[in-house]
Chain A
Amino acid sequence: MFFIALYRIFKFGFQNFWRNFWLSIVTVFILVLTLFSISVVYTLNVVADNAINAIKEKVDIDLFFDPTIPEDKIFAVQAYLESQPDVKAVEYISKEQALESFRAEHQDDPTIQESLSELTENPLPATLVVKAKALEDYSNIVVNLDNSEYSHLISSRNFEDNQVVIDRLSSITDRIYQVGIGVSLIFILVAILVVFNAIRMNIYTQREELGIMRLVGANNIFIRLPFIIESILYALLASILTILILYPLLSAVSPYINNLFEGYDFKMFSYFTANFWNILGLEIIISVVISVISSMIAIGRYLRV
């Protein structure tokens, strides 16, 4: 009994969709545009978040030691820093390691390679690379170190304050995000109106059939639910179409975005493929909510039961 009722409600819902085929197609198209704009905002957000994180990840303090300072003293500084609550990690790079990586970095530059081979002594200092737990902790670490007993051991330090760059990037991405949200809200509003109108038109074209249904004692669910099913059908089709457009597009754009993140651990398309089901689920939820809400308003307003 339940299944036969469900089957008939779905059948009537599909019939509603086919009977006003072109109107249904336009409605799905508007929903696709809405979902697509939301997806673009989401993509921008993902890229911006990763850009900021990537920059944050690159921030560190390099402490250089005079060649005369023995290694055990450097290890003492390392131990001191590691004991600090703000410090996440401290990496020791010996003079030899520094030279090795310098050679590797400039292996294609014959002038540098030649100069290095002429040197009798390793000119590069030993280094401690300090990473803080949070970006705002760096200045604190520097101040503490300057006031500590180890400050005289450090010949120089390299700490570029990236906070300004990060703040600027955040403000740009926030602005893009706000504009994106605004555009998406406009599309959502248009989608609600279009679905509302599609259901209203369908109620109008079927007024005769609906009148007969009421006359012969049709259950209210047989009168109302097919229109809800119809709106869910719009939403599902729109979600699938959006994914079918979005993924090839992301795949095409991905190499350009990845270029921006060269040297960082972020591959945009991999992110989207790894989160495929979440993204599809989210698109379905958003479009179903938009469709069902607007169809319920249309049903409440125009379908007298």
Chain B
Amino acid sequence: MIKLKNVSKIYSEDTVAVKNINLHIRPGEFVSIVGQSGTGKTTIARLIIAEEKPTKGKIIIGGWDITDIKNSEVPVLRRQIGVVFQDFKLLPRKTVLENIAFALEVSGAPLKKIKTIIPQVLKVVGLEGKADRFPRQLSGGEQQRVVIARSLVHRPKIILADEPTGNLDAINVREIIDLLLKINKFGTTVVLVTHNPGIVNGLKKRVITLDQGVIISDQKMGRYIL
């Protein structure tokens, strides 16, 4: 599903974000990418969604070589990868429903499709009764669930969550991780970028550990080793 072959991202001689990364994530996997701050986790996430281009190497997503992806093709890629960030990125003046619909509207989806999909994704994330609330009326966990719902509208094959629990308390962290596991059970590949040992150790899933831009460990039933 996701292949990185000898990928390096070098900003300058002194700033090497990641170096010679070789990675193969199979369809339906739940993979955690861990490491301390500044080790290149987020760079890998940004390379996967073509927010950055690699200096060296090749990136293949679902059989599509996106190494030199054209700007016009990026939206097509983004619809295949649902993205969840730590800072939610919700529009404060739009309701839950409008925030989710916005993702479909700007992709040119017809109204009928929008009306069908929104109740479905709201049900998946458990926010059926809160469609008309504004982000400020929701807890952090609920806001992150809205983001996850928005990331699901294109029925992506991959969910990429970069520190999705960074702004949440313990209870909400558990809820979000459970939600990601639930989505993974439907067959969606989940890539979780985190530096929270508690989450990783509780998952008992594949863990890739980065240190100074290099993969130092890739375990099937991994633990946080740093």
Contacts and interface: CB of A to CB of B under 8 A. Distances in A.
Most chain B C-beta atoms within 10 Å of own C-beta, residue among A8, A212, A220: A212
B171 interface: no
Nearest to A19: B93
A219 B49 CA distance: 15
A217 B107 contact: yes
A7 to B, nearest CB: 10
B91 A209 contact: yes
Contacts of A119: none
Nearest to B79: A217
Interface in B101-157: 102-103, 105-108, 110-111, 150-151, 153-154
Contact of B106 (A1, A208, A211, A213): A213
A interface, size bucket? 10 to 19
A219 B71 CA distance: 11
Contacts, number: 65
B170 to A, nearest CB: 27
B83 interface: yes
Interface string A211-243: 111111111101100000000000000000000
A5 interface: yes
B79 to A, nearest CB: 4
B72 interface: yes
A223 B106 CA distance: 8
A219 B74 CA distance: 9
A1 B107 contact: no
A217 B110 CA distance: 15
Given A4-B111, A212-B102, A219 B89 contact: no
Interface in A1-38: 1, 4-5, 8
A8 B114 CA distance: 14
A216 B78 contact: yes
Given A1-B110, A5-B108, A220 B75 contact: yes
A172 interface: no
B8 to A, nearest CB: 23
Given A215-B83, A217-B77, A218-B75, A208 B91 contact: yes
Contact of B105 (A1, A8, A220): A8
A305 interface: yes
27 contacts: A4-B110, A5-B108, A8-B106, A8-B108, A208-B89, A209-B91, A211-B89, A212-B91, A212-B103, A213-B102, A214-B78, A215-B89, A216-B78, A216-B79, A216-B102, A216-B103, A216-B150, A216-B154, A217-B75, A217-B154, A218-B107, A219-B106, A219-B107, A220-B72, A222-B107, A222-B108, A223-B106
Given A4-B111, A217-B77, 20 more contacts: A4-B110, A211-B89, A212-B89, A215-B49, A215-B78, A215-B83, A215-B89, A216-B83, A216-B106, A217-B74, A217-B75, A217-B103, A217-B154, A218-B103, A218-B106, A219-B75, A219-B106, A219-B108, A222-B105, A222-B106
Interface of B: 49, 71-72, 74-79, 83, 89-91, 102-103, 105-108, 110-111, 150-151, 153-154
Give 7 closest A-B pairs by Cβ, nearest first.
Answer: A217-B78, A218-B106, A217-B79, A216-B103, A222-B106, A217-B75, A5-B108
